[in-house]
Amino acid sequence: MGLRAGTENPALIVGFSEALKLTEKSRKKESRRLRILRDYFIKKVLRTISHCRLNGHIQKRLPNNINLSFAGIEGESLVLKLDQCGISVSTGSACTSTDLTPSHVLLALGLPEDLAHGSLRLTLGRKTAKKDLDYVLKILPPVVEELRKMSAIRL
C-alpha cells in the first residue's frame, strides 16, 4: 500500500515508560484517597436515610463509584432536586444514563424495578473533597424525605 515501517524512537519509548511508572504511583495514592471518601459517604448515607441500599458490593467496586437506591422515590426527581442545590449526580448506571428505563445493570443485580428507578449514582474525582461530600450529606436526607412525602408509595 505504499507504506513502510519507520525507525522506532527509543528515547520516546523510554520516556513513555517512565511516565507510566510515575502515573502508576499517583494513581494508587489517588485510588486510596477516593476509596476512603467513598466508604465514608456510603456509611453516612446508609446510617442516615432509611429504606436506602447500596447497589453492588461494598468493597469490590471502583474507588470513585457510589450507586444507591432510595425506596419510594423516582431517581430523576432526586437528580433534579439535587441539581437545584448545585449537586451533580445521575440516576441508574453509567450504561443507561441517558435512558429513563430501569438500568439493565441494576436489574441484573436483582433490584426490583421500583428500586432501580430510585437509584442515584455519584462519581468522585480528583477535585472531590470531604467537604463536598458533607454538603451532599446535609442536602440529601431532607430532599429524600420531601420526595417521599410527595410520592404515592408509602413505606
Instruction: From residue 96, give the alpha-carbon distance in Å to each of 23, 26, 54, 89, 93.
Output: 30, 31, 18, 14, 6
Residue 99 confidence class, pLDDT cut points 50, 70, 90 = low
Question: Could you list the active site residues?
Answer: 95
**Whole-angstrom distance, CA of residue 114 vs CA of residue 146:** 18
Give per-residue pLDDT as tens, 80-92: 999 999 999 998 6
Residue pair 84/98 in contact (Cβ under 8 Å)? The answer is no
Ranges 70-74, 90-94, 105-109, 142-146: which has the least confidence = 90-94
**Residue 54 in grid coordinates:** 447500596
Residue 97 confidence class, pLDDT cut points 50, 70, 90 = low
Mean pLDDT value of segment 72-78: 92
Mean pLDDT value of segment 93-103: 62
Q: Say whether 67 sits in a helix, a strand or coil.
A: strand
Domain 34-150 has CATH 3.90.1150.10: yes
Q: What residue ranges do the domains of the chain occupy?
A: 34-150
